[in-house]
A = this chain, B = another copy of it.
Amino acid sequence: MLTVKQLQHVVAIKKAGSIQAATELACISQSALTRSLMSLEDNLGVVLFERHKTGVIPTPFCNTIIEQCQQVLHGLDDIKHNADIYRKLEEGELKIGIGRAISGLVCQNILPIFVAAYPKVKLSIIEGTPEELTLRLQQREFDFIIAGFGSYANIEQIKVSRLKSIPLSIIVNNDHPVNKLETVTWQDLLPYSLIGATKLSLSNPLYQLFEKLTKASPSLPSVMCSDYQALKNIVLTSNAWLIAPAPIFEREIVDKELTEINLSVKEMAIDLSVIELSKRQRSPMAEKFISLCEEYFCRESETRN
Contact = CB atoms under 8 A, between A and B. Distances in A.
Interface of A: 1-5, 43-46, 61, 64-65, 68-69, 71-72, 75-76, 78-80, 82-84, 86-87, 89, 279, 281
Contact of A65 (B2, B4, B68, B83): B83
Contacts of A80: 2, 43-44
A61 B46 contact: no
Contacts of A281: 64
A87 B89 CA distance: 45
Given A1-B4, A2-B4, A78 B86 contact: no
B4 A46 contact: no
Contact of A75 (B1, B71, B86): B71
A249 B71 CA distance: 48
User: From DSSP, what is the main secondary structure of chain A's interface residues?
Assistant: helix
A252 to B, nearest CB: 47
A1 B61 CA distance: 27
Nearest to A69: B79
16 contacts: A1-B4, A2-B4, A4-B4, A43-B80, A44-B79, A44-B80, A45-B87, A46-B87, A61-B82, A61-B86, A65-B83, A68-B78, A72-B72, A72-B75, A72-B79, A75-B75
B61 A83 contact: yes
A80 to B, nearest CB: 6
Given A2-B4, A3-B4, A4-B2, A75 B83 contact: no
A68 B79 CA distance: 7
A279 B71 CA distance: 11
A175 B75 CA distance: 61
A3 B3 contact: yes
Contacts of A86: 46, 61
Nearest to A44: B83
A76 B82 contact: no
A5 B69 CA distance: 17
Contacts of A76: 2, 72
Contacts of A45: 83-84, 87, 89
Contacts of A44: 79-80, 83
A83 B43 CA distance: 9
Contacts of A79: 2, 44, 65, 68-69, 72
A77 B5 CA distance: 16
A214 to B, nearest CB: 35
Contacts of A84: 45
